[in-house]
Chain A
C-alpha cells in the first residue's frame, strides 16, 4: 500500500480543488480526528525542536506536494498537521503512533518511503534525502511526531455524489413531451421540426432562408445519404419532375440504395474506432471487414437502433440472434490492444491491461451514452454524477470479456475444423523442426506437407471465416512462476470477475471489490449488480432500457449532426455537465420520443428530417442574419459543408466514370491509385494510417471519434496538385469527355460541369476553359529531353499530361467540388 503513483497512467483532469475555500468548516469530520492517541499539545521544547529542525525540512522537501500550499496534493497526503499525518493519504496513515516507542518510525509509511529502500514509493521522488535529514525525521516520529496545533483546514473527504441531485441534469431526465409551438401553423412549417426551429428563429429575430434550388437539393441529398454525387441524368430528372411526391421518391431511392449503408456505416465506424489491421501480436485477425460489413448491412436493413446496440455488445448472449450476427461483436473485438511484454513483472502488465479496459469503457460509454465514464478511473468524476465505483462496475464487464476470433458456424460444426487446425499447427511445427536437421529430410517434410494439404482440403469448412469477436472469460494478470523475477502470465478464466477498485486508478493498489453493474445515476430500482456471465447483455439492456432516454438522445443527435454538420448538442459524445446544452431542447426531446416510438428506426428519422423545410433551406449567407447569428446556431440557413475524404475521393472516381461500386469484403491498399473501390474499403491501419487518410482529417483509429475536424494544410495542397490520384482521375475524366464529345470543345466543357458540379456551365466558365486550353503550353519536348534523373525535382518533369487532363484535374481540385451547399 503505497502513496506514490509511479506507473499509473492516471487520467488528467486538471482542475485543482479550491480546498481552503470549500473546507473552512470549524470542525474536522469525525474520521480526521486522531484515531487512537489523544492529541496532546506539544511542549515548548518540542515546538522549538519542530520549528528549528522539522518544519523547515518538511517545507523544503515535502510541502510542494503534500500540504495546503501544493498546487495539487499528491496521493491524498498532507504533512502539514499532526491530524493529517495520522489520517495519511490513499494508503493509510503516514505515521504510526508512539505507543511502541522506537518502533513507531519503523512502522511508519513516511519513514519507509524516505529510507529509499528500492521500492516504488520512495520519497521524495527526485532523490533520497541526506542521511542526517532521515535521522531527524525518524527521531521525530519516534518521539510521537509532536506538531504545533495549527489552524490548517483538514483534508477534504472524497466528494460524495448526490445521485438524486445528479439525476436532475437534463440528459438524465426522462423524455419530456414538449408542447408544439404555435409556429406549426406558419405556412413555412412542413412539420414538427420546422415548428420548433421557426420558434427559436423568431425568438432571435431571425427568419428562415428560402429553399435551395432543386439541383442543389439533389446534390445535397445524394452526398448526405449515399456519399456520392447524383448523375447529370438524375439531376435533370429531378429538376424536371414537378409531381408532388418527387422529393419523397428521391429520398426513398437513396435510402434504398446499398450505398446508403456505406455512407452511414462509416459514421458509426468513427465512433467504433474501426481498424482493418489489428495489432501484430494478436492472433490471425484478417477478417475485421466482417464487422464493417455487418455495420453497413445493419444500416441498409434499418436494423432498429436498440437491436443494433444490443448485438454489438452481446449478440452471442442473445437467444433471438444467430451466428450471422457474430461479427457485430467487432465493436469490442476490434478494440485497440497494447503491447504486453510478459517478461516484465505483473505490476507493469496490470497497468497496461487496466489501460485497455479503460479504453473499452471509454469507447462504450461515449459511443452509446455520450458520457465520459473513463474520467472516473482514478476518482469520482469531477463534473458528472459518476463515481469511482461506477467506473469499476463497468470496467468489471470489460475485465470479464476476452477478445477472440470466433467462427460463424455452430460449435459442433466447427469442432472438426478446430481439431484439424490444431493438427495442422502441430505438423507445421514438426516441419519447422525437420528443416533445421542436416541433411534436411526432404521426403519426410513432403509427407508432412501432404498431410497438411489433405487436412485443409478435406476438412469441411476449413476456411470458414473467423470474426473478431469476444467471449465471456475474465483476464487475470499473475506471476508466471514462483519468484518475483519470473515474469507475467495472462490467465483467462471462464468465470467473470468483479474488480477491486483501483485506488487513484492504479491496479496495483486494490481497494474494495466493486460488483459489476450499471451507472448508479442511470439505474432504476435495485437492478445492480450484473449476474449473468460477464454482464455484457445486462449492460446492453441497461443502456437501452434504463438509460434508453439518454442513449436515444445521443444517437438522434448524431443523426442530426450528419444531416446538418453540427448536432443540436454540439458535443456529440459528451452529454454530461461539461458538454453543451442542446440548442433546441424541445426539438431534441420531440424527435427522440418519436424515434423511440417508431421502433428506433434510422430511416424513419431520416425521412422526417429530410422532409423538413429546415433541411431544404439554401446555404446562402444573408449578412443581416449573419450579424445576429454568425455560427448559424439557430439554423436560419443550411450550413455549407466540406466533404470528408471518403465522399470526396468517391465523387472523383464517380465523375471520372472509374468507380468500382462492389460491396463489402476485405480492404485494399489505400495508396494504390489503380484501386477504384469506395474509400470505406481502403485499408484503415491503426498503427499506420495511409497518407491519403492521414492528410485529410481521417480520425485516429485508436480512439473513439465523434466528429471530423476540418483542417486546411499545404500538404493537402501538395496532394491536390501532385498526387497520382488527382492526376489519374483527371486523366480518366478527360478521356471520358473526349470520347463522348470528340469534336466540340465547348460541349466538352459543358459536360464536365454537368458531371462534376451537377449544373450547367455559365458562358463565362466556358470562356475561361477555352482560354485556358488555348494558352496551355503544348507538351514541352525540349525541356524533357536528356533528363538524367526524372525523380530529381530540380529537373522539371517532362510534360506528359494534356491540357484537357490538366483542365479536368483543376475542376476536381476546385472548392466547388469539395464544398456542398
Chain B
C-alpha cells in the first residue's frame, strides 16, 4: 500500500536539495503540465457543451434548477453562442472560440466535471489542493514531490497571474510537504524579468563584482568544509548558491518575451493572458514541471451580471493565445509530452442571476485536456438537458487529479506522504483514472 514515494517521505526527513523526486510508478506519458486556469468559472454551455433546450425553455425553471448553488437564480438564460461541429470528429465548439475550434482534434473535452462546493475559495482549493481545506499540498507540489525538477536553474513549479487569484498563496502551498515543493508565484503583469522572480537581481552590484563576491563566499565555505569534514548539507548549500547565480541569467532569458520572433508574438496576440501562454511555453520548454496560468486578477470569469456581454470579451481574450499555445507546442514537438489543462474552479448555472448573470455551479462543468496520452477530438461525459449537473460518465475533481498524475507516471494511490499520523494523497481517499480518454 505504500509506494516508492513512502520510502522518501517522512515527517522527519531533512531534505537536502529539491532535485530528486519520489519516483515514478509507471511509464509517464507527459513530463510537464500547463494549467490554463479560468478563475471565476466559465459557463459550460457557452463553449463546448451546447444546450439547445435553454433556448426552447428560456425563462422557465425546470426541475434541475432547484439544485443548490450559492445564490437564488431565476429562469433559464440561453447562451448567445452558436455551435459548429469542428475537427475530424465534429466535436461541437462554440463560435466564441473560432481559433481554438481548429485545434479540437488535439482536445479532449470533459463535459462532466463536478466538485463539492460552490464557493470560489473552497472550489479553488479543491481544484488545486484536492480538498476544500487550506491545509493540504497543492497538486504542483505533489508533482514536484513525485518527480523532482528537470531544470535546476529555474523553479520547478511556477504560477503566473497578472495580479492575484482569490485565496492566493494557499493555492500553490506545499503545506506539510517540504517547502522546496511550493509554487513560485510570478505576477507577470509587468514583464520586466527582474520584477518577476523574487530577489533575481542585486541592486547594488553587477554580475562581475557579484561573481567575485560569490567566489569569496565559496572560498570561505570550502575552508569551513575542510575543517568540518564531508557534510552533504553544507555542500548542497554551496551548490544552490551557484544555481541561484546562474538563475539570474537563465531566468531572465526564460522570461524574456522579446526573444520570440515577431511571427510568434503575433500568433499569440497581445494581453496578459497571451503573455502568460507564451511564458508558459518558454518555461516548459526549459524543463519547468508545472506552469499555471491564471487568466486574470481576482476572478474575471465570475459573471454574476451581464454574463453574455462579458463572456464575449473573455473568450476573445483567450481564443487566439490558447490556440497559438497548442499550435506552438505541437510545432516544437512539445505537445507529445506536455499536458495542457483548461478550465475554471467550477462552472455556472444555466439559470439567470440578477436577470443577466449566472451563479456558480459545481454540479456540472466543462474542462478540457490536450497533449501527450490524451485522446483528441472527443468529448467525454454529459450534463443534463440544461447543463445543471453532470449525469453521465461523471468526472470528479479527484478523478481529474488521478488522471493527471497517471499521465505523469504517478499512481495517485501510491503517491503518499506520511504526516500527522496518516498517509495523505492528492486525491484524499477517492479518485479514478479516467482511462476512457487515454490513448
Contacts and interface: CB of A to CB of B under 8 A. Distances in A.
B209 A776 contact: yes
Contact of A573 (B184, B220, B382, B420): B420
A14 B252 contact: no
A717 B392 contact: no
B333 interface: no
Given A570-B12, A714-B244, A717-B240, A362 B205 contact: no
A649 to B, nearest CB: 15
Interface stretch (B88-96, B114-122, B321-329, B366-374): B114-122
A700 B176 contact: yes
B422 A11 contact: yes
B58 interface: no
B176 A127 contact: no
B143 to A, nearest CB: 16
Contacts of B197: 715, 718
Interface string A708-743: 011111111111111110010000000000000000
B85 interface: no
A702 B135 contact: yes
Best-buried of B66, B180, B223, B248 by chain A (most CB within 10 Å): B180
Going nearest first, the 10 A-B pairs with the smallest beta carbon separation are A372-B421, A717-B244, A796-B206, A801-B204, A793-B194, A127-B392, A711-B180, A714-B243, A126-B394, A718-B199
A205 to B, nearest CB: 21
Contacts of B182: 694
A807 B209 CA distance: 11
Contacts of B248: 718, 721-722, 793
Interface in A120-151: 125-128
Interface in A723-776: 723-724, 727, 764-765, 768, 772, 775-776
Classify chain A: how many residues form its interface, as a range: 35 or more
Contacts of B119: 339, 341, 344
Interface residues of B, number: 112
Contacts of A791: 192, 194-195, 201
Nearest to B12: A570
B175 to A, nearest CB: 5
A327 B109 CA distance: 54
A176 interface: no
Given A344-B118, A375-B422, A14 B429 contact: yes
A780 B71 CA distance: 63
A533 B140 CA distance: 45
A445 interface: no
Contacts of B199: 715, 718-719, 721-723
A792 B203 CA distance: 11
> Which among A375, A623, A793, A810 has the greatest number of chain B C-beta atoms within 10 A?
A793
A687 B166 CA distance: 11
A636 to B, nearest CB: 14
Contacts of A16: 1
Contacts of B395: 126
A815 B425 contact: no
B221 A721 contact: no
B193 to A, nearest CB: 5
A709 B182 CA distance: 14
A799 B209 contact: yes
B235 to A, nearest CB: 9
A707 interface: yes
Contacts of B234: 815, 819
25 contacts: A10-B428, A14-B416, A126-B392, A338-B122, A372-B420, A687-B167, A687-B169, A698-B179, A703-B135, A707-B11, A709-B13, A712-B236, A714-B244, A721-B244, A777-B212, A780-B206, A797-B206, A799-B205, A800-B203, A801-B205, A801-B209, A806-B209, A807-B216, A810-B213, A814-B221
Interface in B212-231: 212-214, 216-217, 219-221, 223-225, 228-231
Contacts of B1: 14-16
Interface stretch (B14-22, B34-42, B281-289, B295-303): B14-22
A403 interface: no
B7 interface: no
Given A127-B392, A359-B135, A776-B209, 10 more contacts: A7-B116, A126-B112, A127-B112, A339-B122, A345-B68, A570-B12, A768-B223, A806-B213, A816-B224, A821-B228
